[in-house]
Structure 1
Amino acid sequence: MSTTQIASPRVALVTGGSGGIGRAVAERLGAEGMAVAVHYAGNRNRAQETADAITAAGGRSVPVTADVSDEGAVTAMFDRVQETFGGIDVVVNTAGIMLLAPLAELDLDDFDRMHRTNVRGTFTVSQQAARRVRPGGAIINFSSTVVKLTLPTYAAYAATKGAVDAMTMILAKEMRGRDVTVNAIAPGPTATPLFLEGKPQQAVESLKNMAPLERLGEPVDIAEAVAFLAGPARWVNGQVLYINGGVA
C-alpha cells in the first residue's frame, strides 16, 4: 500500500461532468469528500446544476470549461482548478462522443469529430494530468466494452476507444516513481442519452438482455467503479476495467 500522504481534502477534475455518467461520477466523488471541478464544453447551466448539487450535499464544486482537444484551453482549465482548490489529485476523462454507422458508410468528418474528442481530447487532458496530479492521485480514462464486443456500426467509435486503452496502459508505466495510478473504465450498455439516442426500443432491449443481470447499467454503477479507482484501489494500475454486468 502507498505510504504517500494524500492531501485532504482531495481535488478531482471530471471532464464531461455536466451530465450522464460524468455527472454521476462528479457527484459520487463529491460524496467521497473531494472538491470537484465539473468540466463542460457547451452547456454551462447543466455543469452549474451538477456543481450546485455537490455543494448542496455539503461538498465544494465549481464548473470549468474547455474544448478538451485544445491544448491552450485545457492548460487554462487545469490552471483554474489549481488556483481554486490548491492542486489536483484525481482526473477523470468521461468526455466523449459516439457517432455510429457501418464502416463503409461512415462520414469521415464524423470519424474526425470522434477522434478529436475521444482520442486527442483524452490525450491532451492526460498530458496535463501527468504533469500535475499530486502523489497518491489517479488518472482515470474512459474506454468502452464495444472494443471487445465488436458490434456492427461501432467500428469508428471502438477504434477511438482502443486508442484510449493503449495510451492508458503506456502512461501508467511512464508515471513510474510518481505514485499516481492510471487506469481506464470500459462501461457496457449504460442508460445515458449518449447510448439511448437514436436506438429503437428493440435494439435497446436486445442490448439489455446481453447482460446476465438483464438490465442496462446505470450511471451510478459506473461511478462506483470510478470511486474505487480514485480512492482505495492503489494497487490497481495500468488496467482497463470492464464495468458491464457480465456482457463480456
Structure 2
Amino acid sequence: MFQLTDKIAVITGAGSGIGKAVALLFAQAGARVVAVDFNEEAARQTIDEITKAGGNASSIIVDVSAQTQVVAALAGLNRIDILVNSAGISHIGKADTTSEADFDRVYNVNVKGVYNMLHAALPKMKQQGGGAILNMASIASSVGLPDRFAYSMSKGAVLAMTLSVAKDYIGDGIRCNCVSPARVHTPFVDGFLAKNYPGREQEMFDKLSKTQPIGRMAKPEEIAAQILYLCSDEASFTTGCDYPIDGGFIRLNN
C-alpha cells in the first residue's frame, strides 16, 4: 500500500522541514522526486540523501513567488503526477503591527507561490488525465491564533484555494486536498527560539509543546505520512478535504 512507483512528484520547500520529510518519504515509496526550493544548498542536501538511499531525485531552484520562473521550470517536466505545495514562511504580528512589506512577503510566498505552482502544474495534469495535489494549510486557517495575522491570512487562502481547485478539476481526474498541522518541530522552530529567546530555548520549546493537548510538537515525518496517504492511489476517493494534524489542538484545547 501507499506506493508511488515511478510517479513524478514535485515538492516545494523540499530543502527543509516538512517538505524535506515528504521528499524523503516519497522517494522511499518509489516516486521520482523533483525537489523545488529557493535554497540551492538545502535542495542539494535533500537530493544527496535520496540518491544515497537508492532513490531517484532531481532539483529545481526557483522562487515560487515568481510566476515566470515557475512556469519555465515546470515546462521541462513531461509529467506531474503529484504536486505538494509545502514552501512557506511565517510571521509574527497583529494587523496593526504588521508592515505592508511583511504582509506582502508572506502573501507572495504562501499564497501567490501556491497559485503559481497550481497555474503551471494543472495544465499538465489535465493533459495527462489526472493527478494529486496536496497543499500545506495550518490550524491557523481554522482557529484564531495570537500574533499571527499575516500567516493566518495566507493559510486561510490556501484552504480556500484547495476547495476551489478540488471543485474545478474533479472532472479532469485531479484531486486536491490540504493538511493543517499544529506546531511541528522543524529547523524554523529552533531558529525562531534562538533568535527571540536566547538562553531560554529549552524553556520556551517546552512551553510551546505543551500548548497542544497531546503534550508535544509533531515530527515532520508524521505530517509526511499523512501526505503520502493523501497523494497515493489509496486515497483516490478523497478530494476537497482539509486534515488537521494537530495533537488535538482544534477540538480538545478548551
Give yes or no for contact 1:98–1:194 (8 Å, CA) kept in 2: no
Matches within 5 A, 1:224-243: 224-231=225-232, 232-243=234-245
Distance in 1 (alpha carbons) for counterparts of 2:190 and 2:141: 18
Quote the residue 2:29 is aligned against: 32
TM-score, with normalisation over the residues of structure 1? Answer: 0.90
Shift of 1:8: 5.1
Cα deviation, 1:124-147, whole Å, max 9, x if unaligned, reads: 101222111243521111111122
Give yes or no for contact 1:10–1:89 (8 Å, CA) kept in 2: yes
The reply to whether residue 222 of structure 1 matches residue 216 of structure 2 is no
State the secondary structure of the residue aligned to 1:197.
Answer: helix
Matches within 5 A, 1:34-49: 34-41=31-38, 43-49=39-45
Quote the residue 2:110 is aligned against: 118
State the secondary structure of the residue aligned to 1:69.
Answer: coil
Quote the residue 1:3 is aligned against: none
Matches within 5 A, 1:51-200: 51-80=47-76, 82=77, 86-133=78-125, 134-199=128-193, 200=197
State the secondary structure of the residue aligned to 1:105.
Answer: coil
Shift of 1:196: 4.0
Distance in 2 (alpha carbons) for counterparts of 1:176 and 1:72: 27
Distance in 2 (alpha carbons) for counterparts of 1:32 and 1:7: 5
Counterpart AA for 1:98 = S
Counterpart AA for 2:29 = E
Consecutive unaligned residues in structure 1, runs of 5 or more = 1-5
Matches within 5 A, 1:12-27: 12-27=9-24
Residues 72 and 17 (structure 1), Cα distance of their counterparts in 2 relative to 1, 3 Å cut: same
Shift of 1:203: 4.3
Shift of 1:204: 3.2
Shift of 1:7: 9.1
Cα deviation, 1:102-134, whole Å, max 9, x if unaligned, reads: 221111100100001101111110122211124
Residues 97 and 196 (structure 1), Cα distance of their counterparts in 2 relative to 1, 3 Å cut: same
Cα deviation, 1:23-53, whole Å, max 9, x if unaligned, reads: 0010011011000011111x21221111111
Cα deviation, 1:51-110, whole Å, max 9, x if unaligned, reads: 111111121101111111212111122123x1xxx4110000001111111221111100
Aligned residues: CA RMSD: 1.7
State the secondary structure of the residue aligned to 1:184.
Answer: strand
Distance in 2 (alpha carbons) for counterparts of 1:69 and 1:198: 23
Counting matched residue pairs gives 238
- Judge which range, 132-141 or 232-241, deviates more: 132-141
State the secondary structure of the residue aligned to 1:12.
Answer: strand
Residues 196 and 108 (structure 1), Cα distance of their counterparts in 2 relative to 1, 3 Å cut: farther
- Judge which range, 187-196 or 89-98, deviates more: 187-196
Cα deviation, 1:3-25, whole Å, max 9, x if unaligned, reads: xxx99511100011011111001
Consecutive unaligned residues in structure 2, runs of 5 or more = none
Counterpart AA for 1:31 = Q
